[in-house]
Amino acid sequence: MQKDLLRLESEARQRLSGVSSLAELEEIRRKYLGKKGSVTQLLKSLGSVAPEERPALGQAINDLKNRVAAEADAVMLRLEAEAERMRLEAERLDITLPGRGPMQGRRHPLTRIMDEIKSIFIGLGFQIAEGPEVETDRYNFEALNIPSDHPARDTQDSFYISDSVLLRTHTSPVQIHCMEDGEPPFRFIMPGRTYRRDAVTSRHSPIFHQVEGLVIDRDVTFTDLKGILTVFSRQMFGQDTRMRFRPDFFPFTEPSAEIAVSCFVCKGKGCRLCSGSGWLEILGAGMVHPKVIANVGHDPEKWQGFAFGMGVERIALLKYGIDDIRHFFEGDLRFLNQF
């Protein structure tokens, strides 16, 4: 019997020494120390031993049981320590690595130009107004003196939602909202997004941005228009900027002018940016047509004014020397990060 005990203990120790997981350890515990385990079976078999041998043998089996249990506990501590070490190793931080800073956002180049335009006009006493991008025929055309046979109404040019509802083709309808909603005098700029059915090319996009301006007051003349736009152009393009006014036609202004500024790159000598002309066309403007003032319920005998509009993309292309309008809408960080 003593020999059996020695053999059992040596076998249990041998197996415990090779254990590599807690599951395996539990398996061995069950095999030797569990209710049906080998050591427990030995204790149960004491009944068949001669009474005088029982105490000594019982003591020996209990000692064996305690030693195997102690050994199993030691193995368990070793496995747990090993698991903890692996966990710490996995979570180890290399504090010598260079840090990863947060990505810094930037204002979009169109937003920058728009903000620049706004701040110049705010400095000249203008308020900022906004209007809906989905407009009715009346606001986009009718009230602006654009008759129903005007080419601007061509469905080729406009995104119609229904017969009389469309995406605004310019920011001019905001003029109508402003004039309807209050009493003159008015001094507004109206920045916003506009839509036309243009194919996407390096020069055209079906979505683009305009800034519209409107001044309505008593005794406003074309000289006031020239004065305001000259101040604006010099702040935007440089104090030595010269202005060129040429007659143009818009249904909602009379007289109307197309306005160019002297090229800020070549100062008028002629270069690639201005296609050799020395001038950059940036604005359309004119005295508000008396019909438009009457259309919104004000007296054109009493109130006069001027309006102007500019394309934000065009100004951004010129100012930043960009050759393709599509860059503004593609969201390519290699482009946007340059601003």
Q: Is 118 exposed, middle or buried (0-12, 13-18, 19+ CB in 10 A)?
A: middle
Which residue lies nearer to Zn ion by CB, 8 or 265? Answer: 265
C-alpha of 87 from chain center:
38
Give the three-state DSSP class for 128: strand
CB of 186 vs Zn ion, minimal distance in Å: 36
User: Nearer to Zn ion by C-beta: 215 or 315?
Assistant: 315
Closest CB to Zn ion among residues 268, 305: 268
What are the DSSP calls for 173-241, one per residue?
A: HHHHHHHHHS-S-EEEEEEEEEE--PPP-SS--SEEEEEEEEEEETT--HHHHHHHHHHHHHHHH-TT-
| CA distance between the termini of the chain | 90
The C-alpha atoms of residue 224 and residue 305 are separated, in whole angstroms, by 9
CB proximity list for 220: less than 8 A, separation 6 or greater: 287, 304, 305, 306
We find the least distance from the C-beta atom of residue 260 to Zn ion, in angstroms, to be 11
CB atoms within 10 A of CB 288: 25
Smallest separation (angstroms) from Zn ion to the CB of 243 = 15
* Least distance in angstroms from the C-beta of 201 to Zn ion: 23
* Tokens at 300, concatenated: 């054109």
Provide the minimum distance between the beta carbon of 282 and Zn ion in the complex, in angstroms, as a whole number: 13
Minimum CB distance to Zn ion, residue 261 (Å): 11
282 contacts 292 by C-beta, under 8 angstroms: no
How near is the Cβ of 280 to Zn ion at its closest, in Å? Answer: 7
- Considering the complex, what minimum distance in angstroms separates the CB of residue 328 from Zn ion? 22
Cα(40)–Cα(88) distance, integer angstroms: 39
Residue whose CB is less far from Zn ion, 8 or 273: 273
Q: Name the closest residue to Zn ion (Cβ).
A: 263
Residue whose CB is less far from Zn ion, 144 or 263: 263
Residues 6+ apart with CB under 8 A from 217: 184, 185, 186, 187, 303, 304, 305
Name the residues that contact Zn ion, by CB under 5 A: 263, 265-266, 271, 273-274
Q: Which residues are within 8 A (CB) of 15 and not within 5 positions of it... i.e. 6 or more apart?
A: 28
The nearer residue to Zn ion, 43 or 271, going by C-beta atoms, is 271
Look at residue 119 and give its three-state secondary structure.
helix
Tokens read off for 108 = 């979009």
Closest CB to Zn ion among 221 and 275?
275
Q: C-beta of 245: minimal distance to Zn ion in Å?
A: 19
Q: Which is nearer to Zn ion, 61 or 263 (CB)?
A: 263
Among residues 166 and 263, whose Cβ is nearest to Zn ion? 263
Q: Which of 22, 325, 102 is nearest to 199 (CA)?
A: 325
